[in-house]
Chain A
Amino acid sequence: MCRIRCFEERVAQLARSRRVHGLIHLSIGGEGVAAGVCCQLRDDDAVYSGHRAHGHAIAKGAPLERVMAELMGRADGLCRGLGGSMHLVDVEHGLLGATGVVGGNIPLAIGSALAARLRGSDQVTVVLFGDGAVQAGSFHESVNLAALWQLPVILVCENNGFAEFTPRSAHTPIERVTDVVAAYGFERRTVDGGDPGAVWEAFGEFLAVAREGRGPLLLECLTHRRRGHYEGDPEQYRDPVAEEQWRGSDPIVRLAGRGIAAGWIDQPGVDALGAAARVAVDAALQFARASPFPQPELSAELVYAR
């Protein structure tokens, strides 16, 4: 979580000076979901994500320096500079792909789970999406198929209450995503996404079920999106959140507080994690800056697989 936070705070600075390219969507405030979900998975478990994917990629094991290089459009980026922030892929670590089309890759996750079943493997597929995706047709078609075929896929919805600039209440009368899928009857739960421990525990239980080849399952994590929809969003649609209220929902502060109270970490330990993250992000940025832009021929080379 510290690495994701530090990485994204640096990306926010780089976005202001146009050093990272394209539309940048940060997940500050949502690190508890990335960590609570992705850190429990194996490299051969497949993760699909949406446009707010940096945290998921990092938590799934994508190297910081290659994520940074990708955001900067460099040849050593995860996708050789052709994907960028919204389209991160790291097959080696099981990040099968983020997408810039809201809800667009939920069916891909169902296909991945179908393939795992046909192969007789115990691989689990997880797809993370925001509450905005729940109003897309692809979500409903996919949920129906997953339920019909009882596939080992875990649907993780990060419900931050906003679809881009609009509060959820303006898009749908159904407040909870777990209620949207209730008629299918599969297991579903809503947890406080700002509490990494709660996410970890609930997801861990779901993972055990999916690991046995059963599913689908839906975990709804209520989160707070600290930043705007994208970097540069003037956020005229919502009132600023008071610093004190934000700290109350900050997953890093909350987990640190819980650890200190329980005695498994102390304040110097928390500070050391932050410092180590800063060192790692500095190194990632140095790596990315040193990486060249890709050769122009690369585009034509990669239109078709050979």
Chain B
Amino acid sequence: MSGLETTFVKAINAALARAMRADERVIVLGEDVAEGGPYTATAGLAEEFGRERVLDTPISEGAVCGVAIGAAQAGLRPVIEIMYIDFLTLALDQLVNQAAKAHFMSGGQLTVPLVLRTQGGSGSRAGAQHSQSLEAWVTHVPGLKVVMPSCAADAAGLLASAIADPNPVVFVEHKALYFRREPVARSPQPVALGAAQIVRRGRDLTIVATSRMVGESLDAAERLAREGIESEVIDPRTLQPLDIDTIGASVRRTGRAVIAHEAVTAGGFGAELCARVQSVAFDCLEAPIERVGAPFTPVPLSPPLEDAHRPGAEQVYTAAVSAIEWDKPELPTPDRIGAR
């Protein structure tokens, strides 16, 4: 990639600025956005585009989301920032009942070209109300698109596509990725929504990972490679719509799959991925699909407890080994079925 080094958060910032320069209908709203926000994602936008287009809002997530929906229906392209995904709860009525259904319920008369940017994830010792991974909730709602980038280049390209999309898009960033240095192209190209990326090729096992778990999975893949196991690592990049074709084709080649996300395993998006994968690759599976995620507790504050709660390369490695070493039972007998 010919380009420059940047960080995830700077890539977001630059993508917002490019979109605002290219299209005066693009506006940014959220708490403290004119000040740059707590992670500097919107730094400098108010200075370049003015406070008419970069609107600081009160701490009213529901109304701010609704304002953006109304503005989108009136022809603008608002990008709102919900500072932490934990506060998405406050905007869910607007997102689920208004934004997601307006096009459908109006028989196609209305469109809601809205991007809701937010960030989640644990690891910052912020406790249970500033550390969650709630993306699965929004994948369950017809009418919403859900994007979850894992690197700076994808973040820039996906954000450009999300802003250009005529539908409401929930764009989920991860706070732990914000300040790593990464390469990006000098003029990043849009990345289509609904296109997964194979970030590492391998023949023995497929690891499907989202957001921060993509990097963790690549680390696990390195370790597995040293042991002679070649893993294919796939980042879906968008959860809704989901590129099941790329994921399914990979699992059909490798016969084994590990699905990894940081969210609590129970009811997580991994469950949906698991079901979709088995429906397209059941006849090729050599082992049960393994899932990696957080245990079923809120995120604890205490550092050793948070570290233990947070899935990483170690858990992906262990799951991969289980998938590889899993022995198909001999022809099952009624006794064995009973024992399982």
Residues of A within 8 A of B (CB): 46, 48, 77-83, 87, 89-91, 96-97, 99-101, 104-116, 118-119, 125, 137-138, 141-142, 144-145, 148, 299, 302-306
Contact = CB atoms under 8 A, between A and B. Distances in A.
B107 A82 contact: yes
Contacts of B106: 79, 82-83, 87, 89, 91, 97
Interface in B32-87: 52-53, 57-58, 60, 62-76, 78
B94 interface: yes
A114 B70 contact: yes
Interface in B94-132: 94, 97-98, 102-113
A142 B73 contact: no
Contacts of A114: 67, 70-71, 76
B63 A104 contact: no
30 contacts: A46-B74, A48-B70, A79-B109, A80-B107, A89-B109, A90-B109, A96-B110, A97-B102, A99-B98, A100-B97, A101-B97, A108-B70, A110-B63, A110-B67, A111-B69, A111-B73, A112-B74, A114-B71, A115-B75, A118-B71, A118-B76, A125-B70, A137-B62, A138-B63, A141-B58, A299-B104, A303-B142, A305-B166, A305-B167, A306-B166
Contacts of A48: 70
Nearest to A99: B98
A114 B57 CA distance: 13
Contact of A96 (B63, B65, B73): B73
Interface of B: 27, 52-53, 57-58, 60, 62-76, 78, 93-94, 97-98, 102-113, 142-143, 145, 166-167
A79 B70 contact: no
A107 B65 contact: yes
A116 B74 contact: yes
A138 B143 contact: no
A131 to B, nearest CB: 19
The interface centre, meaning the residue of B62, B63, B76, B142 with most chain A CB atoms within 10 A of its CB, is: B63
A303 B66 contact: no
A55 to B, nearest CB: 19
B63 A302 contact: no
A106 B69 CA distance: 11
A77 B108 CA distance: 12
A138 B103 CA distance: 22
Given A107-B66, A114-B71, A91 B109 contact: yes
Contact of B66 (A78, A79, A106): A106
Instruction: Across the A-B interface, give the 8 residue pairs with the lowest CB-CB distance, nearest first.
Output: A107-B66, A111-B70, A141-B63, A80-B107, A108-B70, A115-B74, A79-B107, A141-B60
B110 A115 contact: no
Contact of B98 (A79, A90, A104): A104
A77 B63 contact: no
A48 B105 CA distance: 14
B167 A111 contact: no
Given A96-B74, A104-B66, A108-B73, 7 more contacts: A79-B105, A99-B97, A108-B66, A111-B66, A141-B63, A305-B103, A305-B167
Given A101-B97, A145-B57, A303 B62 contact: no
Nearest to A144: B58
A145 B143 contact: no
A304 B66 CA distance: 19
A219 B100 CA distance: 30
Contacts of A83: 105-107
B104 A107 contact: no
Given A108-B67, A110-B67, A304-B167, A115 B76 contact: yes
Contact of A111 (B68, B111, B142): B68
A142 B58 CA distance: 10
A97 B66 CA distance: 13
A111 B105 contact: no
Given A141-B62, A303-B143, A105 B107 contact: no
Given A82-B107, A118-B52, A145-B58, A107 B167 contact: no
The interface centre, meaning the residue of A80, A118, A306 with most chain B CB atoms within 10 A of its CB, is: A118
The interface centre, meaning the residue of A83, A110, A115, A142 with most chain B CB atoms within 10 A of its CB, is: A115
Given A101-B93, A101-B97, A118-B27, A107 B71 contact: no
Contacts of B93: 101, 104, 138
A104 B167 CA distance: 19
The interface centre, meaning the residue of A101, A106, A303 with most chain B CB atoms within 10 A of its CB, is: A303
A79 B112 CA distance: 16
Contacts of A77: 107
Contacts of A148: 58
A80 B113 CA distance: 21
Contacts of A299: 104
The interface centre, meaning the residue of B58, B73, B105 with most chain A CB atoms within 10 A of its CB, is: B105
